[in-house]
Amino acid sequence: MGNLPDKTLHGGLFNNIFFEVSHSEKLNLRNPEQLRLFHLEVSNNLYVFGHLQQFIQRNIGQYVFSRAQIEEYELDGNAFSVGLDAMNVMKANANPGERDSGNDLGEILLYVFLEEVLKAPKILSKVELKAQSGSYDSECDAIHFLSSTNSNGNSYYNIVFGTSSIVGDVKDAIDAAFDRVAKIHSKSEQEILLAENTIFTKTVDQSTAQKIKDLLLPQKGKKRRVSYDTAFGIFLAYDLGLNPNNYTNQDFEVQLEQKMKTDIKAHTQYIIDKINNLNLGNYSFYIYFVPLNDVANDKQQIMNEVFGEGGTDG
């Protein structure tokens, strides 16, 4: 597995920005799963975004460009231009926060969580997927590559198709995400081909690409040496739904964690039913929830700040 791509994210500050809330709910899938809750920093009973915005800006080059492109910057002695050039690419693509452009907060945080929490290196971000849309318009918000070891000590691999949803009501956010999952699944053969072609030609050096190809693709007259499956990664944000004026500062943090646990308990079976109704029980799902104060305003505010277009921290 050492021949596989390393993660691209500079994730050192992640644990100072996102705080995990433990809970006991499970999807009870046959294959590996994650169903995890995180919240942002809180000040005066509101989530605050300053450090998150800085974290996104710090990683914008890694989100936009492939490893091969970043390596070219480094070889040219121009590594400090990566972030600025990446921001210019995003500004040329679409307005801050525009969905399906790569500039949406959910699309970026999906990349962050799949790399930092799932430990699944990026193959293609949404920005890169949009750049490839001339040949095939992917339904994914990201494609990542996960390597792991099963109970027998054997390696196995997942190509992880990612989607994101930022909607005020948590149930509506789940619905929107699974609507996209259904579309991705309906085009899974094209998505797999896109991922394979990218692994082998665009994200890593030729030597590493050949090693991955030898691992994953069947050679003439031979079986594939190591199996891989597809999986789904989902990032969801929604309105927390607590009135900050009803609690002291000390009580609010206790209540927000309890509210998050209540939310996930109330919707776990709903997620399970979604998976079963789509006949996807044989797939792995890796799902990450992060509540916000008011998603309609917060997601736009955060991306405006990332793009340097003003707004105030909330």
Instruction: Provide the H-helix boundaries in the chain.
Output: 14-17, 50-58, 60-64, 67-75, 82-93, 105-116, 126-131, 170-186, 188-201, 206-216, 249-277, 295-306
Burial of 58 (0-12, 13-18, 19+ CB in 10 A): middle
Please state the length of the chain.
Answer: 314
Alpha carbons 303 and 47: distance in angstroms, whole number:
15
Q: Show pLDDT as tens, one digit a residue, over the chain (314 residues).
A: 445 677 899 878 999 999 999 999 999 999 999 999 999 999 999 999 999 999 999 999 999 998 888 888 888 888 889 999 999 999 998 898 899 999 999 999 999 999 999 999 998 899 988 887 555 688 999 999 898 877 777 778 888 999 999 999 999 999 999 999 999 999 988 887 877 777 666 665 565 566 566 655 655 555 555 567 899 999 999 999 999 999 999 999 999 999 999 999 999 999 999 999 999 999 999 999 999 999 999 999 999 999 987 543 33
pTM reported for the whole predicted model: 0.91
Alpha carbons 47 and 295: distance in angstroms, whole number:
11
Run of H or E residues at 145: strand 142-149
Supply the DSSP string of 224-245, one letter for each residue: -SS-EEEEEEEEEEEE----GG
Alpha carbons 121 and 188: distance in angstroms, whole number:
19
With tokens 């996807």, the residue in question is 280
289 and 38 Cβ atoms separated by less than 8 Å: yes
**Neighbouring-strand partners of residue 43:** 46
Residue 34 has a CB neighbour count (10 Å cut-off) of 16
SS3 124: strand
What does the DSSP 8-state code read for residue 168?
Answer: S
